[in-house]
Structure 1
Amino acid sequence: MTTPIGNVLVLGGTGFVGRHVCEKLHRQGWRITVPTRRAINAAQVQHLPRVTVIEADVHDPAQLLSLLQGQDAVVNLVAILHGSEEAFEKVHVELPLAIAEACAADGLRRMVHVSALGVSQDAPSRYQRSKANGEEVLRGASLDLTILRPSVIFGAGDRFLNLFARMQAVLPLVPLAGASARFQPVWVEDVAQAVVASLRDTDLPMSSVGQTFECAGPEVFTLADLVRIAGRHGSRQRAVLPLPDALARLQARVMEMLPGEPLLSLDNLDAMTVDNVATNQWPGLASLGIAAASVHTVAPTYLGDHGARSRLLAYRHSARR
């Protein structure tokens, strides 16, 4: 059995990226604590022997401080894509502030924080502005901080390419808002590996402490390109109908009024006016020793019914990273 490296608290460990992070940290020998409001939400990670699932509210300062006791590092993956100004402030600003204060009280310094490409305090969307403000809160704290900024994240179980593949399975064509928006999609396994590499940065050519890294794939695509790729590797490919801005905003307004989490919001459209691509002002995945995987390589392994062989190849590729 691998000798444990240390103890790490993973906030957001039950989410899409969090599950991959926990698996890789476990493989490296970390002891991982994953808080969640309901233990059932952690079903995909609690089978890992070195993962401890605790029912807790991370927005409660007392509970957060208790969770930090005995930890050597904390990883923050908690984020939302939709919500009011108050919701974005609570999750993206107030929670990082609470983490920083709890770390100061506990004496813990090492933290990896997952943000996003395109964030700025004067960005057009609430999501982007709140993410930028959360970064500033953490930079102002006495932490050994690493910030990761991924582009849109894809991989088995995503709500991105899978959504577009399902849409094309049932619709005669895809009416698409923000069709010309540009992205540099990154594989979830590469983002998870970046978290692990940041925590074990002694083998890197440069220390990740105090650094911001842009996590992006090797290629830039428009949203329309990505919809076509999803259709090509899914069950069928449909024509894409780019919507003019007025119709796109009408579509987003209607989707916001539907029950449940919207597929598209006005804030999403505002965010897509900013290119979600690497600026090269910060180091990228290569600086963390990671060769980013292409959508063209990974998407065929999980979109559509391609059988066990292609999935096995993806698992083997992941195991070598």
Structure 2
Amino acid sequence: MARLVTIFGGSGFLGRYIARRMAQEGWRVRVAVRRPNEAIFVRPYGVVGQVEPVFANIRDDASVRAVLRGADAVVNCVGTFDWRGRNTFEAVQAEGAARVARIAAEEGVGRMVHISAIGADPDGPSRYARSKAEGERRVLESMPEAVILRPSVVFGPEDNFFNRFAGMARISPILPLVGAGTRFQPVYVDDVAQAAVMGATGRAAPGIYELGGPDADSFRNLMVDMLKVIRRRRLVLGLPFWMGWLMAAGFDLLEIVTLGLIRNGVLTRDQLRSLRRDNVVTEGARGFAELGIEPAAMEAILPDYLWRFRPSGQYTEIKESARNLRAR
């Protein structure tokens, strides 16, 4: 019988790529999510019955145990940017990760891959960074041979980074950025998925890997590159941190007074704290090189999915070619 992997958050941005790759490797895949009916799209990743969405809540022992029973490997992709409510940083990224690892050990699951983030630090400036570090620590307590992946900002067709700002550029003449000088090292989602599969199948040595793409640059320059891809001229305006703090505090307050009916999806105070630190691979850290993976460059991937934000969409390049012909 084919080996079985349980992927928590397997229908999310990164999780779906891991699920697809694990199915291609011949594994049976349980996609553990809170809303299985919204994850039906993962089924065609394999043959009939190979990939199945199942219910699990990472905050509940019983449901986590149910989806881990009989699994040979587990991948935890669950993360959050929620700073209040039931699914807080601590509840999901620390306690939830610890629960998965503890129950995986109790159920005899052989391998675990845990998705963390560059910047995970027990003494970090943000709750997000501290909860990621606590999650790593508690995963290793129960599964000391786990593979922990720390990607920088992840990009790809479903991302909430380049898509978000490209959408803003479509309607606004200005792109305001807080932390414009902060450096990022965007990493392609399928490269991270490949690393996760290597961990789940035992082809990667246990330990922590920091994953960044070949291009490390400032927030501002990444947005300039994105604007070139979507063929739009916009003013990239760097805002001082004090102004960002006023904005973030206002958006956070609005979420509080509306009891969460209006969510702060713009900028939180915790995100602002994270923006004070560069988000790049630490010098000397293990990464793609040790895994034998050549990460994809942004310039090779961004045009494949950002074309829809161009003034003429998919016809932009055709029109540019036609203008060149007329010029001759």
* Residue identity opposite 2:131 in structure 1: S
The separation in 2 between residues aligned to 1:274 and 1:9, in whole angstroms, is 33
The separation in 2 between residues aligned to 1:253 and 1:265, in whole angstroms, is 7
* Residue identity opposite 1:17 in structure 2: L
Alpha carbons 2:216, 2:280 under 8 Å: kept: yes
- 1:212-291 alignment runs, 5 A limit: 212-234=208-230, 236-256=232-252, 257=254, 259-291=262-294
Aligned residue for 2:14? 17
Change (3 A) 1:179 1:190: same
Alpha carbons 1:285, 1:291 under 8 Å: kept: yes
- 1:80-159 alignment runs, 5 A limit: 80-84=80-84, 87-159=88-160
Alpha carbons 1:82, 1:262 under 8 Å: kept: no
Alpha carbons 2:185, 2:217 under 8 Å: kept: yes
Cα deviation, 1:99-133, whole Å, max 9, x if unaligned, reads 12212321223100010001110000100000001
Aligned residue for 1:79? 79
The separation in 2 between residues aligned to 1:214 and 1:85, in whole angstroms, is 30
The sequence identity of aligned pairs, in percent, is: 37
Q: Find the residue that maps to 2:30 and give its secondary structure.
A: strand
How many angstroms does 1:12 deviate by? 0.7
The separation in 1 between residues aligned to 2:196 and 2:123, in whole angstroms, is 27
Q: Find the residue that maps to 2:290 and give its secondary structure.
A: helix
Change (3 A) 1:104 1:198: closer
Cα deviation, 1:140-196, whole Å, max 9, x if unaligned, reads 224420000000000111110011111111111112111111101100010011111
How many angstroms does 1:85 deviate by? 9.2
User: 2:43 is matched with which residue: 35, 43, 46?
Assistant: 46
How many angstroms does 1:254 deviate by? 3.0
How many angstroms does 1:295 deviate by? 1.2
- 1:45-64 alignment runs, 5 A limit: 45-48=42-45, 49=47, 50-64=50-64
Q: Are 2:158 and 1:160 aligned?
A: no
Query: Following TM superposition, where does structure 1 have runs of at least 4 consecutive aligned residues deviating by more than 3 angstroms?
Result: 305-308
The separation in 1 between residues aligned to 2:209 and 2:125, in whole angstroms, is 22
The separation in 2 between residues aligned to 1:234 and 1:44, in whole angstroms, is 29
Alpha carbons 2:40, 2:53 under 8 Å: kept: no
> More deviation in 262-271 or 185-194?
262-271
Alpha carbons 2:9, 2:15 under 8 Å: kept: yes
Aligned length: 301
* Residue identity opposite 1:302 in structure 2: Y
Aligned residue for 2:258? none
Aligned residue for 1:33? 30
RMSD: 1.9
Alpha carbons 1:165, 1:235 under 8 Å: kept: no
The separation in 1 between residues aligned to 2:250 and 2:44, in whole angstroms, is 40
Alpha carbons 1:151, 1:186 under 8 Å: kept: yes
Could you state the TM-score of these two structures normalised by the residue count of structure 2? 0.87
The separation in 2 between residues aligned to 1:254 and 1:236, in whole angstroms, is 30
How many angstroms does 1:235 deviate by? 5.1
The separation in 1 between residues aligned to 2:192 and 2:95, in whole angstroms, is 24
Q: Are 2:297 and 1:294 aligned?
A: yes
The separation in 2 between residues aligned to 1:117 and 1:127, in whole angstroms, is 11
* Residue identity opposite 2:80 in structure 1: I
Change (3 A) 1:229 1:28: same
Alpha carbons 2:102, 2:143 under 8 Å: kept: no
Alpha carbons 1:234, 1:304 under 8 Å: kept: yes
Change (3 A) 1:7 1:160: same
The separation in 2 between residues aligned to 1:176 and 1:287, in whole angstroms, is 34
* Residue identity opposite 2:157 in structure 1: A
* Residue identity opposite 1:46 in structure 2: R
Alpha carbons 2:75, 2:200 under 8 Å: kept: no
Q: Find the residue that maps to 2:58 and give its secondary structure.
A: coil
Change (3 A) 1:261 1:45: farther
Look at both structures and tell me which one has the larger radius of gyration over its CA atoms.
2
Alpha carbons 1:110, 1:143 under 8 Å: kept: no
